[in-house]
Amino acid sequence: MLIGGDWVSAQSGKVFPSENPYVGKVWANVPDGGAEDIDAAVVAARSAFEGEWGALSAQARGKLMLRLGDLIAENAEEIARVESTDNGKLYKEMLAQAQYLPEWLYYFAGVADKFGGEVIPSERANFHIYTRHEPIGVIGAITPWNSPVLLLGFKLAPALAAGCTMVVKPSEHTPASTLRFAQLFEEAGFPPGVFNVVTGGRDAGEALSKHPGINKIAFTGSDVTGKRVMQAAAENFTRVTLELGGKSPNIVFEDADMEAAANGVIAGIFGATGQTCMAGSRLLVQSSIKEELLEKVAARAKTIKLGDPMDMATEMGPMATRPQFEKVMGIIDRAKSGGARFVSGGRASPDHDGFFIEATIVDDITADMEIAKDEIFGPVLSVLTFDTEEEAIQLANDTRFGLAAGIWTQSGQRGTRVAHKVRAGTVWINAYRVVAPNVPFGGFGHSGIGRENGFDAIRGYTETKAVWVELTGATRDPFNIG
């Protein structure tokens, strides 16, 4: 683990295994950190925040971030290989993410010295009033197993730009790529303690969430775990950003470009094996075109190539973890028992070892069924129909989540109307699964609190301070000092 610039074992001496989900076997052992390791990392991060890192100008921080971005680009292939081996997602997807990640460092490096306060007009002539945005302090980041390094970057880049330091606890299922990523900080020239990594399980995550030395927790994961993180953080009034799950609708109207919509539906749910918070896991299709669209989507789903994530020809890899594989199969089995019709898939792949599930499409369901309302985080598409625009909006919003939505229509007016009425943090019209460092990302309801990316993100890593300067210096009545 990386603590205060040193590579260390867990103080307990314990380690835990990480499985390669493609073969279902252990490929790495990493330190099993606990509360005492979290303590050490927080002390290191606080020391850097109050010391060398805190003394740097915004311009100097930005230059270090630019160097880190360059190093990520130079090492993208290796980071992607480690990540794909650890979580089973396609190497080509992990490589695309690693190659895109530098843009977060470049964007926020540019923001670092441009995010300032403002002068506020005063009703009192003897006062000059201005605001400062000061770094909130030490950040505790808890990252998920599906895209560990990219989703770490969503938190790290704005935090560094704001002047914060960080302790990250990656998922115990996929810790390896974060450790490889951490090696770049010393090479980039960051002061020790600015970035710290403690690997471990639930105990380490809880210790980080409730630590009194942490000023903000940035978490990505399920809404169930997000509640626990928020409850732990509340003990110390620790600020939180929660980027949680989704049950996002892909809404297809009868006037949509059918080929484009079919491709968007397939990419929205079967890309990344459905293991993405923004997965378009609910297909809401207008009744008049349901059979035509479903035929196209099902035909393509049945040809999706499963296999070795490192093979560039593979289109869908395994589930990232054994528990996730078992969870998804349980949901599928209960849907079968409930009378759902499986248009494709619905079983573990008989042709592969590891944690493979076939691309699955489920029809003849109701909106209150588990498979239609709960986040699955796997390659499972639930199909619901509507007749009118109003019904489509009602179905789209009939969820506790509100992370993302797709709308497929050739009417710009309809697309805009529906986008404004759907309760989701991101809405794509005739597109799906597009993000950028300068565009806010986050959700409504159980999909989280706060936003990552864009200026909204850096605001979340600062405290706003108002400064009143009395200009005359005149002696005043102590009970009326204004």
Active-site annotation, residues:
243, 277
| Length in residues, the chain | 482
Closest CA to 49 of 136, 154, 135, 165: 165
Rounded CA separation 252/428 (Å): 12
Q: What is the DSSP string of 395-416?
A: HHH-SS--SEEEEE-S-HHHHH
Pairing mode, strands 404-408 and 426-429: parallel
Nearest CA among 148, 193, 216, 181 for reference residue 461? 216
Q: What are the phi and psi torsion angles at 462 (to 5°)?
A: -130, 160
The answer to whether residues 177 and 127 touch, using CB atoms and an 8 Å cutoff, is no
**Rounded to whole angstroms, what are the CA distances from 376 to 16, 279, 288, 328, 451?**
26, 10, 28, 6, 23
Q: DSSP state, 454?
A: H
Specify whether the CB–CB gap between 161 and 65 falls below 8 A: yes
- The tokens describing 131, both together, are 């605001």
**CA-wise closest residue to 153 among 170, 138, 136:** 170
CA distances from 334 to 190, 270, 376 (A): 51, 21, 13
Q: SS3 of 340, please?
A: coil
CA 242-247-252 angle, to 5 degrees, is 135
- CB atoms inside a 10 Å sphere around CB 428: 22
For residues 61 and 58, what is the distance between their CA atoms, to the nearest angstrom?
5
Residue bearing tokens 């999909």: 447
356 vs 111: CA distance, rounded Å: 42
Q: What is the DSSP string of 115-164?
A: ----EE--SSTTEEEEEEEEE--EEEEE--SSSHHHHHHHHHHHHHHHT-
SS3 call for 298: helix
